[in-house]
């Protein structure tokens, strides 16, 4: 999966915005204002950071040694960095969905209701 495919999949999800809050090279995806994915546009090979359940994060790092690593410049407990070109697109989409769902599940009742009422 390349960075454009990653971006396209992220922005199709309900309530997602994209922005550059850190610098002009780091694209951040948020759902209802909460970050669930980010990618450094200049990094070679392409990679992205995704939020992950801590136990699942450890399992993925073991299973995909060197391809999924602790989140670069992020909480190592809650974030993974994925090397996009070395993983199947369907698997990456599953990880994006997992990250998105983790963030949505952690939203306040008010924000969850706002998200439910949004149209795509």
CA pair distance 84, 28, nearest whole angstrom: 16
Q: How far is CA 46 from the centre of its chain?
A: 13
**Phi and psi angles of residue 26, each rounded to the nearest 5 degrees, phi first:** -115, 105
**Using CA atoms, how far apart are residues 72 and 64, in angstroms rounded to an integer?**
16
pLDDT in tens, 15-71: 999 999 999 999 999 999 999 999 989 888 999 999 999 999 999 999 999 999 998
CATH architecture assigned to 3-107: Alpha-Beta Complex (3.90)
Q: Looking at residue 33, what is its pLDDT?
A: 95
pTM (predicted TM-score): 0.93
Tokens of 109: 């009742």
Q: Where are the beta strands (DSSP E) in 1-120?
A: 16-19, 26-31, 34-40, 47-51, 68-70, 79-83
pLDDT tens column, 62-114: 999 999 999 877 878 899 999 999 999 999 999 999 999 999 999 999 999 99
């Amino acid at each position: 999966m390349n960075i454009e495919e990653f971006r396209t999949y992220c922005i199709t999800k309900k309530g997602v915005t994209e922005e550059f809050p850190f610098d002009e090279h780091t694209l951040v995806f948020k759902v209802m204002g909460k970050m669930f994915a980010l990618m450094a546009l200049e990094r070679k090979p392409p990679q992205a950071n995704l939020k992950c359940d801590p136990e699942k994060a450890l399992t993925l790092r073991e299973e995909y040694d060197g391809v999924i690593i602790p989140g670069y410049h992020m909480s190592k407990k809650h974030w993974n960095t994925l090397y996009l070109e070395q993983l199947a697109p369907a698997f990456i989409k599953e990880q994006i969905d997992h990250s998105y769902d983790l963030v949505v599940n952690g939203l306040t009742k008010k924000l969850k209701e706002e998200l439910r009422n949004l149209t795509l």
